[in-house]
């Protein structure tokens, strides 16, 4: 233990084993992480979101079994991230081999510890969404970026097992973005020279986010020159793409995120504006090329919902498909959490979209499923995260597209660039 770490009597008690073996493991884990992060004390958290709701292997199962034997229980409200299979009872056969049974077992053990089986990578769409200033222990990179940047809640980029230890103890090391100083930007990114036509579609924020994440690395960026009051779904896109390209837990976006004024003051004081890195139209076209830029082509499918769709995303999709006639010529897979699915079902969107051929995948991401295996033709996605992981981890050729291009590709079975959006 670091000599600098100052523990309360209650924390010491857990560490010494007086609160049982599970709590001792959890507190030892928090203390070891505090040591690695040079924290001087621990801080209380009000909720947790765990990444480990998927089957990663036998050692993970051994850990959960041992914790359960020691009667581990979470001490704060805790939700679970997307799993490795669609576990809903009416799911199509949507997993490889024993993946469904294995994932069910992991989720069952975590729910026995008191976790809610939300199984979504978009916990900001749940009723448990934290408020500005709340300290939470979230894992899942896109959600961490959204929580810190857009909500103004405070969470470390909490790695797996530290998240579980935090849920059991209700504590995290007070370090990094949990502190005021840890939220200060370290570089400026100037988007003011971008052509204004970009901002009419969320794909712009996917490309901008991917560019910003790559430039920032692990430094918190202050991004300026974008339109004011960017809507939350577009900020969601930007956060997911930043997370897929970089190592940051937070970004400030002038005119849109709640702590941007503090960020600006810090950039002025530290003279960061003079070395701002400019984003240009060429930058974004190059990102489009990196993520997947096939020309006109027949396609094997369309994948949306990485991260999981919100109710508003589904309402927009319903509107876009409703405006057009005819059956889908290429499969359109939409992934979402089970809670949002229920809301969308109550609103009538699920029935309407299913009738048109849209296939919903709950609880998991389509890149964990056989749906995306070895597809012979390019696939279309609106998500930079899906395109990046699909290209690296699956044997597929993604194309990053606008919402309209994606829907059009599903309706016609063919991808065509929408020249009315993509100006030269």
Contact 224, 191 (CB under 8 A): yes
- Near another protein in 126-165, by CB under 8 A: 139-141, 144, 157-163, 165
On the 0-12 / 13-18 / 19+ scale of CB atoms within 10 A, 419 is exposed
Q: Is 56 in the site for another protein (CB under 8 A)?
A: yes
Q: In 3D, which of 115, 118, 154 has the Cα closest to residue 138?
A: 154
Closer of 56 and 416 to another protein (Cβ): 56
| Distance from C-alpha of 182 to C-alpha of 369, rounded to nearest angstrom | 38
Q: Is 54 in the site for another protein (CB under 8 A)?
A: yes
| Shortest Cβ 63–another protein spacing (Å) | 5
Q: Is 348 in the site for another protein (CB under 8 A)?
A: no
Contact 319, 353 (CB under 8 A): no
Q: Is 46 in the site for another protein (CB under 8 A)?
A: no
Q: Is 51 in the site for another protein (CB under 8 A)?
A: yes
Q: Is 210 in the site for another protein (CB under 8 A)?
A: no
Contact 153, 132 (CB under 8 A): yes
- Binding string to another protein for residues 217 to 256, with x set by CB under 8 A, is what? -x----------------------------x---------
| Distance from C-alpha of 252 to C-alpha of 216, rounded to nearest angstrom | 12
Q: Is 60 in the site for another protein (CB under 8 A)?
A: yes
| Shortest Cβ 8–another protein spacing (Å) | 20
Region of 29-37, 222-230, 295-303, 322-330 interacting with another protein (CB under 8 A): 29-37
User: Within a 10 A sphere around the Cβ of 28, how many other Cβ atoms?
Assistant: 15
- Binding string to another protein for residues 370 to 389, with x set by CB under 8 A, is what? -------------------x
Closer of 250 and 317 to another protein (Cβ): 250
Q: Side-chain half-sphere of 141: how many Cα atoms within 13 Å?
A: 16
Closer of 66 and 96 to another protein (Cβ): 66
Q: Is 38 in the site for another protein (CB under 8 A)?
A: yes
Applying CB under 8 A, among 9, 59, 282, 327 the residue interacting with another protein is: 59
Phi and psi at residue 360, in whole multiples of 5°? -95, 135
166 backbone φψ class: left, alpha, beta (φ>0; ψ -120 to 50): alpha
Q: Which residues contact 108 (CB under 8 A, 6 or more apart)?
A: none
Q: Note the Cα 270 to chain centre separation in Å.
A: 31
> CA-CA-CA-CA torsion for 279, 285, 291, 293, nearest 10 degrees?
180
**Which residues lie near another protein (CB under 8 A)?**
25, 28-29, 32-33, 35-38, 51-52, 54, 56-60, 62-63, 66, 139-141, 144, 157-163, 165, 173, 218, 247, 389, 392-393
């Amino acid at each position: 233990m670091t000599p600098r770490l100052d523990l309360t009597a209650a924390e010491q008690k857990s560490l010494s084993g007086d609160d049982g073996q599970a709590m001792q493991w959890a507190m030892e884990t928090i203390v070891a992480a505090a040591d690695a992060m040079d924290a001087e004390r621990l801080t209380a958290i009000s909720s947790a979101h765990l990444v480990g709701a998927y089957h990663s292997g036998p050692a993970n199962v051994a850990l959960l079994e041992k914790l359960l034997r020691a009667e581990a229980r979470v001490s704060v409200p805790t939700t679970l991230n997307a799993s490795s299979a669609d576990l809903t009872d009416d799911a199509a056969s949507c997993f490889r081999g024993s993946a469904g049974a294995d994932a069910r077992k992991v989720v069952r053990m975590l729910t026995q510890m008191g976790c809610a089986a939300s199984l979504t990578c978009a916990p900001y769409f749940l009723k448990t969404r934290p408020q500005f200033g709340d300290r939470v222990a979230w894992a899942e990179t896109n959600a961490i970026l959204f929580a810190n940047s857009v909500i103004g809640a405070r969470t470390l980029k909490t790695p797996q097992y530290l998240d579980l230890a935090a849920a059991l103890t209700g504590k995290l090391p007070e370090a990094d973005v949990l502190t005021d100083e840890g939220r200060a930007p370290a570089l400026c990114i100037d988007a003011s020279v971008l052509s204004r036509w970009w901002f009419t579609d969320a794909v712009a924020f996917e490309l901008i986010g991917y560019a910003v994440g790559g430039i920032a690395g692990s430094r918190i960026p202050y991004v300026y020159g974008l339109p004011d009051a960017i809507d939350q779904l577009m900020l969601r896109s930007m956060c997911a793409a930043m997370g897929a390209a970089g190592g940051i837990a937070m970004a400030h976006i002038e005119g849109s995120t709640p702590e941007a004024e503090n960020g600006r003051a810090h950039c002025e004081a530290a003279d960061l504006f003079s070395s701002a890195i400019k984003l240009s139209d060429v930058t974004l076209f190059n990102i489009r090329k990196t993520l997947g830029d096939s020309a006109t082509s027949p396609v094997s499918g369309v994948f949306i919902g990485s991260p999981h769709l919100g109710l508003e995303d589904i309402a927009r999709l319903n509107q876009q498909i409703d405006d057009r006639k005819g059956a889908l010529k290429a499969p359109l897979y939409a992934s979402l959490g089970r809670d949002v699915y229920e809301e969308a079902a109550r609103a009538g969107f699920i029935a309407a979209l299913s009738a048109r051929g849209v296939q919903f995948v709950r609880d998991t991401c389509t890149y964990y499923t056989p749906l995306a295996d070895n597809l012979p033709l390019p696939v279309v996605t609106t998500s930079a995260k899906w395109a990046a992981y699909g290209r690296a981890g699956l044997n597929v050729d993604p194309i990053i597209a606008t919402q309209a291009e994606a829907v059009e590709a599903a309706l016609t079975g063919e991808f065509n660039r929408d020249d009315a959006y993509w100006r030269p």
